Chains A and B, each alone.
Chain A
């Protein structure tokens, strides 16, 4: 069975970022409710979040170079629309959440330390009202990212376990080759 697959590099990026983002969501909500672990979790949260921001950029370029395989021809339009809309939402949130994190620290005049003496410059001027606003936005967008991720996970499992249409395997396959388009199943 040679179903169409994402390019190997695309799959690699996908699973790497899936792990990183899921970890970040747990680190984020864990650290704001932990006195003992707050500091070390935040010192992982910043560089990991910035790494995600950089990888989203790589991923958007890669998507142009290695377009995703087509969805199965018999997939109903509602599901196609849901798939596209949720992917747009995921990309937008993957970009917005870390950008807002960086911007909020800038507005709060808090240094964006990555590691040791390695620091990023502020991207917005100091303004505490803006800080408060961005801080709330960081939480709201991160929760929206978690909700969208749950939908995405549910859809992936449905493709794999219920519809069995090869969409799950197109991302979950370990094989190096991309497969033959137009031969779903």
Chain B
């Protein structure tokens, strides 16, 4: 077939024939369909849905913006050390970290507040975040709090509680009516807060028990999976907190106490794995598991170095709870994906902001040779 040279170029659109118009119409419809689907996926068509951006925006609305700092657990200090597994965890998980042998750890102690310069009061939630780094790869990150259960079981609950417990700009204190209204629609939070208030509070960071709260799954070498929760339990004996009177309190007394304790020698914690039974709730962090569940002592964490937040140390780590090695997997707890998403937004924002030194600074170690009198000059 020899095509006859067209008298009019097929590339000319003007004046348009019916065929051209129909073709343009179909092209436009297809484009509008694809672009519309995109806008729908972005969330442009459902502005009411709760997203990671809105959660982090609410942290900022409640706490103000403190450039370079975490949007929650903003005040903290960096520690390093090692985790020595004893092999017991390997029964349930094939993760390298549960073998025997020392694994380097980079951690962070913090208080669960979004304001980095707030003085310590003794009423705050204390946290320990850890990144385990086996030489063979398969990093494990976890963030744990010194409370027995989490106050909410969904991201929506978290978002609501954040607003309900925020200080009223008029009074500087949370509005009790807001809280009552929230608890009225969230009985699980009322129950959980009861357990949280009743917990024994330790004298400081060093002698606390830190709980992972969310459920995860351990996966063994045959692929079998077991629901678990985990905790880091201090070897320092528990001493109940006696809050110093307001006047006597140094603004960073909790952190100063931690630094002083670490300068006397390493801190040790046992990694305790609580093994869930069928029927134990894995999707609800407000519910404790029944007492008497098997506990596996999987090894010892030793923290021997403390330093202020700075470039490249714990400051620059996103303790995303879903950075998990092969052998530890997420569960059906909806908080986990929500945390991972929100931590990413918080990390991305603070990463790009100018940095200010942390409120928590670590003084140089006292000289190893005592008895040299200070000149005072």
Contact = CB atoms under 8 A, between A and B. Distances in A.
Q: Do these two chains interact?
A: yes
Contact of A117 (B43, B138, B344): B138
Interface in B10-53: 10-11, 13, 19-20, 22-24, 26-27, 30-31, 34-35, 37-38, 41-43, 49-53
A39 B41 contact: no
B231 interface: no
Contacts of A35: 50-52, 55, 155, 334, 337-338, 341-342
Interface residues of A, number: 50
B348 interface: yes
B63 interface: no
Contacts of B52: 32-33, 35, 38
Contacts of A108: 318, 347, 351
A149 to B, nearest CB: 8
Nearest to B39: A29
Interface size of B as a range? 35 or more
Interface stretch (A54-62, A155-163, A171-179): A155-163
A88 interface: no
Nearest to A33: B43
B94 to A, nearest CB: 9
A153 B344 CA distance: 33
Interface stretch (A5-13, A44-52, A94-102, A124-132): A124-132
A126 B322 CA distance: 19
B368 interface: no
A30 B42 CA distance: 6
Contact of B11 (A32, A76, A126, A153): A76
Contacts of B311: 128
A74 B51 contact: no
Nearest to A41: B337
A157 B50 contact: no
B317 to A, nearest CB: 6
A73 B348 CA distance: 50
B376 interface: no
B41 A154 contact: no
A34 interface: yes
A25 B37 CA distance: 11
Given A25-B38, A119-B137, A158 B318 contact: no
A38 B334 CA distance: 11
A132 B351 contact: yes
Given A39-B337, A132-B348, A162-B13, A34 B30 contact: no
Nearest to B22: A161
Nearest to A75: B11
A150 B31 contact: yes
Main secondary structure, interface of A, reads: helix
A79 interface: yes
A157 B11 contact: no
Contacts of A185: 1, 3
A163 B10 contact: yes
B41 A38 contact: no
A121 to B, nearest CB: 9
Main secondary structure, interface of B, reads: helix
B60 interface: no
Given A126-B312, A161-B27, A36 B338 contact: yes
Contacts of A14: none
A119 B181 CA distance: 47
B27 A162 contact: yes
Contacts of A34: 51, 341
A32 B233 CA distance: 35
Contacts of A111: 137, 139, 323
Contact of A30 (B41, B312, B320, B351): B41
Given A29-B38, A117-B325, A128-B316, A38 B337 contact: yes
Contacts of B3: 183-185
B252 interface: no
B9 interface: yes
A136 B326 CA distance: 29
B1, B38, B317, B330 — most chain A CB neighbours (10 Å): B38
26 contacts: A1-B1, A31-B341, A32-B51, A32-B53, A33-B42, A35-B52, A35-B55, A36-B337, A76-B11, A109-B316, A111-B323, A117-B138, A119-B137, A126-B312, A128-B350, A129-B352, A131-B352, A132-B353, A135-B348, A135-B352, A150-B35, A153-B34, A162-B20, A162-B27, A165-B10, A165-B11
Interface of A: 1, 25-26, 29-40, 42, 74-76, 79, 108-111, 116-117, 119, 126, 128-129, 131-133, 135-136, 146, 150, 153-154, 157-158, 160-165, 183-185
7 closest Cβ pairs, A-B complex: A132-B352, A161-B23, A117-B326, A162-B23, A38-B341, A128-B351, A39-B337
